[in-house]
Amino acid sequence: MHINSSSYNRVGFLKLYFLCRKTKPRPQVLVSSGLAAAASPCSQRIRKYDAFPGHSRSKRSSKHYRCFSASAPDCNKRTPSFSYVVVGAGSAGCVLANRLTEDAHESVLLLEAGPKDLLLGSLRLSWKIHMPAALTYNLCDDKYNWYYNTLPQAHMNNRALYWPRGRVWGGSSSLNAMVYIRGHAEDYNRWQREGAAGWDYQHCLPYFRKAQCHELGENRYRGGSGPLHVSRGKTNHPLHKAFIEAGKQAGYPFTDDMNGYQQEGLGWMDMTIHKGKRWSTASAYLRPVLSRPNLKTEVRCVATRILFDGGRAVGVEYMQNGQRKKVFAEKEVILSGGAINSPQLLMLSGVGNADDLKELGIPVVQHLPGVGSNLQDHLELYVQQQCTQPITLYKAQKPFHMVKIGLEWLSLFTGYGATAHLESGGFIRSRPNVTHPDIQFHFLPSQVIDHGRIASKIEAYQVHVGPMRSTSIGWMKLKSTNPLDHPILQPNYLSTDIDVWEFRQCVKLSREIFAQTAFDPFRGPEVQPGPQIQSDADIDAFVRQKADSAYHPSCTCKMGSPSDPMAVVDADTRVLGLERLRVVDASIMPSIVSGNLNAPTIMIAEKAADIIRGRPPLADPGVPVYQPPTLETQR
């Protein structure tokens, strides 16, 4: 569906300065019996949403009403039934809704806890989501966001870290920074070794290509005709050029496609931006197929439990408009709520660690101790340098410039509003004998403070840097049996010595890049960590005080072999020990990949759709991947 500039709310945009720069206070953290939960306004907002009409249905001749089975609950009533019930219209759920309804004989109900990505349910897209430069507004606003917080972290000065997760059509692909990074080929080969048979790189690459429509055209690594539009940055900013050149001067290679043959090196990053607008999975996969008669969507509905008939999943119970409702699946229930919501719903439904479930009085349907375990995330921090020239995004945050940028975007979808500004970055190896990059950079010609809640104070540039394969593994558990209560999140950040060492390297190597002559025309004093931070002990203390989540929680419903006691789903995404229940999202990653998670999550859903439909897997045997000439570091 083509939506032109008239579809956006121009009048509302004039409030951009007051909305986008509105400072949100950090959620208060309540600590009880050693456990913390976020006292966020999100729960109240969800309850408020339940009072609003939430029905969204594609054009169809009749509703799906039938009795599922004689033993199914409420079978004496006329209950809605579909081939598949997909819980979560996020990065994976939108893909499944599209691919599964390609078969006109199958029907899909797509449930989403949040609203549409539209203005007041109209056909006008919300500029707060679809303007790339406005991303910090939604990252720090609970309207489209679950607004999670972790437990206080013992190795990070007892700080509770903030985790935004999408609660809207498109999920986190409607909130993220739009960076399209797949990870390294070895990540997927490792998945195979970890028990996810058929998920090695040669079997995953074709699904990355299938999803993608890259503006630079198709080759062996890039797709050219998929629904997910991917582009390169258009600003041509001198600070981005300086960062890439400084990397070369520091001894790192240039890579022209970090999603292709060679991830290693610095270069221009791909982004899910199309014609100046965010290209979420709602834009790419869901909205174009809303007219299909075999697809129905529901919004503002919170799934409360999976309905079981013995060991078979037969439907989903959810709350909407203050009412408890049930829907039945003739074939399968598919959870695509993400790395927090999917394991939470499993546990609420009696699938998880039996001891934990019994403590809360939840009847055990299937003992799977891996549910909520194996929690992994990327940490990052900002190394910031003052800029001596007035070329950063500092002025763009002033009211006059914000209105000017906004009006250009609303009229033409061009200019500073048409990018998230994270246009350069890259991957390097931290030390000898590392076979593939373990440090990632995102460069930004601006200063970020408190997740973007606070406007930058000075002309400055920064690099977001962090290790890619943390050895600190965490867990999540239910706080209560109330589906609206946020679960307890314990990522165990920086709990291993190697993670601390790698972060120390991140700071040192970032400083080394910023010290190169390419930055001589721009370099002012170091803002963060600051010139006083030099010793290893001081750097470690800085990391513990300033590192924050990169918003990549994953791996909480691990895919693996049935013989793995911590596996939750098998290589076909089926929940172990149960029938007709799958999980398809970032939670099933056996281990976190070396990069951002939106692209891999979309790939997972594309591949899972073929598995569900019984199609033979795509493969590209023998695809070449760059191997460093030596296991010494590039420098």
Residue 548 has which token pair? 């924050």
Tell me, what's the pLDDT at 119? 77
Tell me, what's the pLDDT at 47? 34
Across 219-244, average pLDDT: 97
Tell me, what's the pLDDT at 58? 41
Per-residue pLDDT band at 634 (split at 50, 70, 90): low
Share of the chain above pLDDT 70, in %: 86
Across 100-124, average pLDDT: 91
3-state secondary structure (DSSP) of residue 517: helix
Across 560-571, average pLDDT: 98
What letter represents residue 184's amino acid?
H
Per-residue pLDDT band at 121 (split at 50, 70, 90): low
Is 486 assigned a catalytic role? no
Could you report the per-residue pLDDT of 389-426, keeping only the tens digit for each? 999 999 998 999 999 999 999 999 999 999 999 999 99
- Does some domain include residue 269? no
The residue segments making up the domain with residue 312 are 47-145+164-173+281-371+554-612
What letter represents residue 561's amino acid?
S
DSSP codes, 475-522: EEE-SSS-TTSPPEEE--TT-SHHHHHHHHHHHHHHHHHHTSGGGTTT
The residues near 605 (Cβ < 8 Å, ≥ 6 apart) are: 91, 92, 93, 95, 96, 99, 336, 584, 585
- Does some domain include residue 110? yes
- Does some domain include residue 402? no
Classify residue 466 by its DSSP letter. E
- Does some domain include residue 4? no
Catalytic residue among 214, 237, 486, 552: 552
Tell me, what's the pLDDT at 234? 87
- Does some domain include residue 533? no
Q: Are 138 and 111 in contact (CB under 8 A)?
A: no
Tell me, what's the pLDDT at 140? 84
Tell me, what's the pLDDT at 548? 98
Tell me, what's the pLDDT at 78? 57
- Does some domain include residue 481? no
What letter represents residue 217's amino acid?
G
- Does some domain include residue 150? no
**pLDDT of 102 above 50:** yes
Could you report the per-residue pLDDT of 26-85, keeping only the tens digit for each? 332 222 222 223 333 333 333 333 333 333 434 333 445 443 333 344 443 457 899 999
Comparing CA positions, the residue from 312, 316, 336 lying closest to residue 325 is 316
Tell me, what's the pLDDT at 6? 40
168 in a known ligand binding site = yes
Distance CA 209, CA 214 (A): 9
Distance CA 633, CA 555 (A): 29
Chain-wide mean pLDDT for the chain? 89
Tell me, what's the pLDDT at 594? 98
179 in a known ligand binding site = yes
Residue 145 has which token pair? 């966001």
Distance CA 185, CA 200 (A): 8
What letter represents residue 287's amino acid?
R
Task: Identify which has the larger pLDDT, 109 or 15.
Answer: 109
Residue 590 has which token pair? 């056996």
Tell me, what's the pLDDT at 137? 85
The Cα-based distances of 116 to 124, 221, 548, 586 in angstroms read 11, 33, 29, 22
**pLDDT of 427 above 70:** yes
3-state secondary structure (DSSP) of residue 556: coil
Number of domains forming the structure of the chain: 1
Distance CA 283, CA 287 (A): 6
Which range has the worst mean pLDDT, 31-35, 515-519, 559-563? 31-35
Q: What H or E segment, with its residue span, contains residue 206?
A: helix 201-211
Q: Are 133 and 520 in contact (CB under 8 A)?
A: no
Residue with tokens 């170091």: 526
333 in a known ligand binding site = no
177 in a known ligand binding site = yes
Could you report the per-residue pLDDT of 576-632, keeping only the tens digit for each? 999 999 999 999 999 999 999 999 999 999 999 999 999 999 999 999 999 887 767
Q: Are 370 and 567 in contact (CB under 8 A)?
A: yes
Distance CA 595, CA 574 (A): 26
Could you report the per-residue pLDDT of 132-177, keeping only the tens digit for each? 999 988 888 888 999 999 999 999 999 999 999 999 999 999 999 9
**pLDDT of 261 above 60:** yes
- Does some domain include residue 632? no
Distance CA 184, CA 190 (A): 10
The CATH number of the domain holding residue 339 is 3.50.50.60
Tell me, what's the pLDDT at 125? 82
Classify residue 173 by its DSSP letter. G
In this structure, is the dihedral angle defined by the CA atoms of residues 238, 243, 246 and 252, taken in order, positive or negative? negative
Helix and strand element counts for the chain (H, E): 16, 29
